[in-house]
Structure 1
Amino acid sequence: MPSITFKEMFSLFLQLVRWSFLVLPLAVVIGSFCALFLWLLEVVTQYRFTHPAILYALPVAGVAVGLAYYLWGGRSDGGNNLIIDEIHEPDAGVPLRMAPLVFLGTIISHLFGASVGREGTAVQMGGSLASAVARWFSLDKRDTRILLTAGIAAGFGSVFGTPIAGAVFGLEVLTLGRLDCSALLPATICSVVADWVCYQWGIHHPAYSMGFHGLTGADGRIFHVNALLLVKVGVAAIAFGFASRAFSEGVQYLSPIVKKFCPQSWLRPAIGGVVTIMLVWALGTRDYLGLGMVAPEAGGASILNFFGAHHYAWSWLLKLIFTVIALSCGFKGGEVTPLFFIGSGLGNALAPLLGVPVDLLAGVGFVAVFAGAANTPIACTFMAVEMFGGANVIYYAVGCIIAYLASGHTGIYVSQRIAVPKIWRKMFKPGVTIRQARLGKWTD
């Protein structure tokens, strides 16, 4: 029976030392920047809560960020999709200027009330810093791909406090239907260390109220899989997948319309800012501005409140509309935290209709809508365990998998390659991007 030799073990040890030398300093820097970023997000969010009139400057703030990208951004405007493209087909690299531009652009967007997220900023900071390190050390294409993957993992893991999910996300987000584990060790080291560094800076992530831990059987024991409840979660997961698709397709549909209406890229955020202000006037609430983790007023629609007893029927849809408009008009940040809002809000809305515990379905929706939009069901299952605990992991996994399938060949990252389609197609060439699949180009 073949066994690992001393030479192979020594080679593995050398690889561990080499990659540790590369990724440990990178992880410290990424974790520190993410800590600063999260602290500033908290500061500007609280400022906006106490000075609501600042919203009226959102169009001007958006134009300022747009001008910065127009004058100095260059390829940085490609965002997360540029990083994914560089991993698949290394070219000119990810510009280092992407990190400060997206950092400042996101902080400004949140200060003035744009409905955007934070994961895009963390991933782009991680990717641009990793690309810079790869250039400094003249790494070859394979090692550059691995280091970029580790940078994505570190940014994602530290910004959400989910280091294992971050490592898996860095591997899974690249190619639909396949995990390339060549970057597993560097991605895991980088994500875990970056999250630890972020924590050492005093950053603490929200604690979610998950009271459901299984149903009690006739014998008085708790069994964590109830057949009827699992079916209900599966039905809800179809709705979560449709919500993922609506979000992704909404951005892809509206963006070209805005571009045609306003060819000047730096001016488009002004449109989004004006429409956002009009929506706030019409609805009479500021609940759908910014991240949506907490509401400006007690009892308002927010991610944390969706895990409670109060019912929010249409908050998920309103957040979807606010965010699609903001992203389509060029505001910087990301999609993931708004997707958390949409998913947990939809779970809260469906829970009384399906007779499912509210906190359970809010938790499933939280990760499942993101799983469908990002095409990362495995990473999202890990994320649920890291955020909510492992007692309900089967419900989380089923929700993520079904939402992933129900969302179809769409996604927020159109540069993702497809290795295995969700529904097999006879005329299919592996390596087609989500962007091409949306246009029906399965063989190009």
Structure 2
Amino acid sequence: MRHFSVIQTSIIAALLSVLRWTAFLLPMAACVGTLCAVFLWALDHVTEYRFTHPGLLWFLPLAGVAVGLAYHWFGRSAEGGNNLIVDQIHEPGGGVPLRMAPLVLVATVVSHLFGASVGREGTAVQIGGSIASGFARLFRLDDNAVRIILMAGIAAGFGAVFGTPVAGAVFAMEVLSIGRIDYRALVPVAAASITADMVCHAWGIHHVPYKVAFAGSPDLFGETFHTNPLLLLKVGMASVCFGLASLLFAESVHRLSPIFRRLCPVPWLRPAIGGILTILLVFIVGTRDYLGLGVIAATPDGASIMNFFHSGDYTWSWLWKLVFTVAALSTGFKGGEVTPLFFIGAGLGHTLSTVLGLPTDLLAAVGFVAVFAGAANTPLACTFMGVELFGATNVIYIATGCFIAYLCSGHSGIYLSQRISVPKTAHPHITAGMALRQARALIGQSAPHTNEQPSSDTPTRTGA
């Protein structure tokens, strides 16, 4: 009887814990999903408006200053962005301010309206972290529970904004520490990501469908098989380039940000430099294809993520998008890095497919997720994202791209608050638990200040 009583008590305690978590986890995820729906709806409308009113680009420097002033007056710790959230998960302290959600949402929409080359992931992650932190304060959660709900907030924002709930859950756990995943929060983050995605969809938000026609090659017996050795080798070669592109992007932002800080010590004026540079770049390149998200172009044959899955001449589009995005993020524009990274990866994949003789849509899909995997140090999450976006048929190639790009991107990345649990390569001074910003300093790179935000979304920049 005593044994039965112990079991009964354990069951009741577990049920109460589930009910307690459900009471604040699902409403939190629903709030994040709703705000992500508002955000995506606004992005669609401002992008369409910018396409039909190209003269808005001239006001980009003023828009940047307005956003800079808003953060100067009201932002305070919210300026920390994604890195602040990651830091709070590792070492709960002051929390993530609730004002971060409306600030970053409005700032990102303004950035896109006037043509800044930024993303949306950082915005979604910061919305999720801000709302989750607010719920943590409301329910007076302890430090361990705060860590879990902040991870759930990241998962909710990421899963909803991209329509990839499984990748959102894995990303929230994987982005914290390089080389190790803590699965203790698996159920809460999965529940939050799935709920937020469902709520976002329920509001009528639909994500762009990507289609990869390639479905395997015939083997020696004439049957279609999911892996071709020569094709896999070529994908591996391209993936080295994807990893190096990740490294180039992250280091460009981290190295240029301090330079712009020295050139313009007034933070709220700094985005004006990025706005002016963007206008100059448009005149140099002769196209506006590299403004905004870049998912679709203003013209049918313009450089865009969607068009990279088809034939066309987009040889250097990936590099121009990198230049445009670095100019915006390193001067303080809000919006994030991830969608620009998708553009860079898909564009580079399109270019390399011609060089290596690979199916264009396949390598564009691999590059799409692999460059992000290298920049964010999240190869598993990006593999799941590839499956959710492109289907499981080519998962071997997708995983190969993500894993190799992750290894080739070195000890760098867009989130400097990440901890290194398992170093990618042996280094006498890099130890477990070290923040990525410290590792960059030790391997001879000029690391930015510890409060720097690489984005979102990137200052931490906001979303893709």
Hey, what does 2:351 align to over in structure 1? 349
Aligned partner of 1:43 in structure 2 is 45
Asked if structure 2 preserves the Cα contact closer than 8 Å seen for 1:20 and 1:189, the reply is no
Change (3 A) 1:364 1:9: farther
Contact 1:250 1:324 in 2 (8 A): yes
1:354 is displaced (CA, Å) by 0.5
List runs of 5+ in structure 1 lacking aligned partners: none
Question: Given residue 383 of structure 1, which amino acid in structure 2 is its aligned partner?
Answer: M
1:323-342 equivalent positions in 2, closer than 5 A = 323-342=325-344
Greater relative contact order, per chain length (Cα 8 Å cut-off, separation 6+): 2
Identity %: 61
Q: Is the 8 A contact 2:36 2:161 kept in 1?
A: yes
Deviation at 1:281, TM superposition (A): 1.0
Corresponding residue for residue 194 of structure 1: 196
Tell me whether 1:33 sits opposite 2:35 in the alignment: yes
Structure 2 unaligned runs (5+)? Answer: 1-5, 445-464
Residue identity matched to 2:305: I
Q: Which amino acid aligns with 2:376?
A: A
Answering whether residue 414 of structure 2 is matched by residue 429 of structure 1, we say no
Deviations 1:86-111 (A, max 9, x none): 00011110011100100000000000
Q: 1:439 aligns with which of 438, 441, 448?
A: 441
- Deviation string for 1:30-64 (max 9, x for gaps)? 00000010000000000000000010000000000
Runs of 4+ in 1 over 6 A off after TM superposition: none
Aligned position for 1:219: 221
Is the aligned partner of 1:119 residue 2:121? Answer: yes
Equivalent position of 1:312 in the other structure = 314
- C-alpha displacement at 1:9, in angstroms? 5.1
Distance 1:143 1:193 in 2: 19
Once the two structures are superposed, residues 148-184 of structure 1 have per-residue CA deviations (whole angstroms, 9 ceiling, x without a partner) of: 0000000000000000000000000001011011211
CA distance in 1, matches of 2:392, 2:436: 32
Letter in 2 for 1:418: I
1:354-392 deviations in whole A, cap 9, x for unaligned?
Answer: 111000000000000000000000000000000000000
Q: Corresponding residue for 2:55?
A: 53
Note if contact 2:216-2:225 (Cα within 8 Å) is conserved in structure 1.
yes
Q: After TM superposition, give the deviation of residue 18 of structure 1 in Å.
A: 2.2
Aligned to 1:205: 207
- Residue 319 of structure 2 aligns to a residue whose secondary structure is helix
* Secondary structure class of the residue paired with 1:439: helix
Taking structure 1 as the reference length, the TM-score comes to 0.97
The whole-number CA distance in structure 1 between the counterparts of 2:180 and 2:320 is 34
**Which residue pairs with 2:401 in the alignment?**
399
Question: In the alignment, which residue of structure 1 is the partner of 2:91?
Answer: 89
Q: Could you say which residue in structure 2 is the equivalent of 1:228?
A: 230
In structure 2, what residue type is equivalent to 1:360?
L
**In the alignment, which residue of structure 2 is the partner of 1:366?**
368
Q: Deviations over 1:14-41 (max 9, x none)?
A: 3332222221000110000000100000
CA distance in 1, matches of 2:312, 2:21: 49
**How far did residue 199 of structure 1 move?**
0.4
* TM-score relative to the length of structure 2: 0.93
**How far apart in 2 are the matches of 1:168 and 1:145?**
15
- Give me the whole-angstrom Cα distance separating, in 1, the residues matched to 2:351 and 2:8: 58
Counterpart-to-counterpart distance in 1, 2:352 and 2:176: 32
- Shift of residue 216 of structure 1? 1.7
Alignment-derived partner of residue 447 in structure 2? none
Distance 1:246 1:100 in 2: 31
Instruction: Tell me the C-alpha RMSD between the 2 structures.
Output: 1.4
Give the total of aligned pairs: 439
1:352 Cα deviation after fit? 1.0
Q: Matches of 1:319 and 1:441 in 2, distance apart?
A: 28
How far off its partner does 1:217 sit? 2.1
- 1:440 maps to a residue whose letter is L
**How big is the shift at 1:11?**
4.3
Corresponding letter in the other structure for 2:433: G
Taking structure 1 as reference, are residues 267 and 396 closer, same or farther at Cα in structure 2, changes over 3 Å only? same
Q: Is the 8 A contact 2:430 2:439 kept in 1?
A: no
Tell me how far apart the structure 2 counterparts of residues 429 and 247 of structure 1 sit (CA, whole Å).
25
Q: Does 1:178 pair with 2:180?
A: yes
Does residue 262 in structure 1 map to residue 251 in structure 2? Answer: no
Contact 2:257 2:331 in 1 (8 A): yes
